[in-house]
Amino acid sequence: LAKTTQPISMDSYEGQEVNITCSHNNIATNDYITWYQQFPSQGPRFIIQGYKTKVTNEVASLFIPADRKSSTLSLPRVSLSDTAVYYCLVGDRGGADGLTFGKGTHLIIQP
Partner 1 sequence: GAGVSQSPRYKVAKRGQDVALRCDPISGHVSLFWYQQALGQGPEFLTYFQNEAQLDKSGLPSDRFFAERPEGSVSTLKIQRTQQEDSAVYLCASSSGLAGVRPETQYFGPGTRLLVL
Q: Which residues bind partner 1 (CB under 8 A)?
A: 30, 32, 34, 41-46, 49, 51, 85, 87, 89, 91-104
User: How far apart, in Å, are the Cα atoms of 75 and each of 2, 3, 22, 30, 102?
Assistant: 24, 23, 14, 26, 20
Distance CA 13, CA 9 (A): 14
Beta carbon nearer to partner 1, 68 or 104: 104
CB of 65 to partner 1, least distance (A): 19
Beta carbon nearer to partner 1, 32 or 63: 32
Beta carbon nearer to partner 1, 95 or 111: 95
DSSP three-state, residue 81? helix
